[in-house]
Structure formats: structure tokens, C-alpha cells
Chain A
Amino acid sequence: EVQLVESGGGLVQPGGSLRLSCAASGFTFSNYAMHWVRQAPGKGLEYVSAISSNGGTTYYANSVKGRFTISRDNSKNTLNLQMGSLRAEDMAVYYCARVGATNYFDYWGQGTLVTVSS
């Protein structure tokens, strides 16, 4: 069974940093591109970042470019998102999602909540 489990969310002050992780299981992690998608409370979905299967290519939304860094460790089946210079508008549930054979997000984690507040 495919499983994606996010961790690392919590309360952080504006300007602070946080590292999210997503533990993958039930599939060959190194074969799949992975993304982070976020959802502010009561709002819609927002694409955040993507990484290719081998980690060689990354993409970022303009809103996080230069502040967030996506990475992966295929030996540990883990996806990461290093977030810096956090702002109130970064407060959201962060989902990791797998890009499946359809080239869309076929599996999602349950999400981890990031709260940015002083």
C-alpha cells in the first residue's frame, strides 16, 4: 500500500525556519517525481515545489522561490522541504504528493500544519 506521511510542522515565528519531511513507503520512491502542495486554512490548493525522481531538477512557485528548498533522499525514501524566512502567508497545511503514471498527483499524504505566528 502506498503511504506518504508528512512530519515537521508546528509553530514558528515570522522570519523563522522549519524543515518538513515526507516518508514514503509501498512503492519504489526513486522512480517518482514528488511535489509539495499547501492549503491555507479555509482556502484552496497552492502548488509549492517539485523535484524530479533523481533529484536533479527542481521547481518552485514564485511565492516561495529563494526561501524554500526541496530535496530528497532516495536511500531513505524521504522527501524534504526546508522553509526559511517564513511569513504569515506561508501558514498552511503542507501536503506531499506523488506524481503517478498519469502525470498528476495520484497519492497524497495527510498533511502537516505549519503555523507562522509571534
Chain B
Amino acid sequence: EIVLTQSPATLSLSPGERATLSCRASQTVSSYLAWYQQKPGQAPRLLIYDASNRATGIPARFSGSGSGTDFTLTISDLEPEDFAVYYCQQRGNWPRTFGQGTKLEIK
């Protein structure tokens, strides 16, 4: 099973700042990695798929990069609605797995 390790566990930033979230895989997943956003009481929402492609309706301030084992989600110019928990997920191998999440909180 591929283990996805996200860092940091918590990121404290202010609106307008830039957020950089990391996801590292225990073995290569090629570019088969997605990022989801989850707000309290809600289901996750797909942000980025195949490492760098924005899902439908996702603002341009969200961008993804990486391949192999190291991936990054960048949120430029944070908006108040961006403060949430973010998960990475791989589809490079079965079983599909998620990272443990990074909580982006308001500083």
C-alpha cells in the first residue's frame, strides 16, 4: 500500500498570503495524484487532478505540481474561504490512499 505523508500538519497563514502544502508518496505514483479541500461538515471537493490540472470551477489561485513521489499544492493570495483541510490522494496503485491531511488555519 502506498503511504502518502502530508506536511505540515497545520499551516497558519493570513488572507492574502501564499500557502504551500506538500504530499510525499512512499513509492512513485507517476502523476496520478489529486488534491481535495474539505470544510467542516462538508464532503471533500476535488481541486487538482493528475498532479497539476485544475478541476472544473476551481479558481486559478490553486495550482499543483510534482511527479513521482513529491507533490505540492500552492494557493496564492489566500481568500477567507480557502481555510480548510486539504488531502492528497493517489490513484497510481490499489488500494487508493489518502494523505492524513493539512489543516490551513487563519493566523
Contact = CB atoms under 8 A, between A and B. Distances in A.
Nearest to B33: A104
B50 A102 contact: yes
Contacts of A100: 46
Contacts of A61: 95
| Interface size of A as a range | 20 to 34
18 contacts: A37-B98, A44-B85, A44-B101, A45-B89, A45-B98, A45-B101, A59-B95, A62-B95, A95-B44, A97-B43, A100-B46, A102-B50, A104-B89, A104-B91, A105-B44, A105-B89, A110-B43, A111-B43
B18 interface: no
Contacts, number: 62
B43 A44 contact: no
Question: Interface on chain A toward B: helix, strand, loop, or mixed SS?
Answer: strand
Nearest to A47: B96
Interface string B32-56: 1010101000011110011001010
Contacts of B89: 45, 47, 104-105
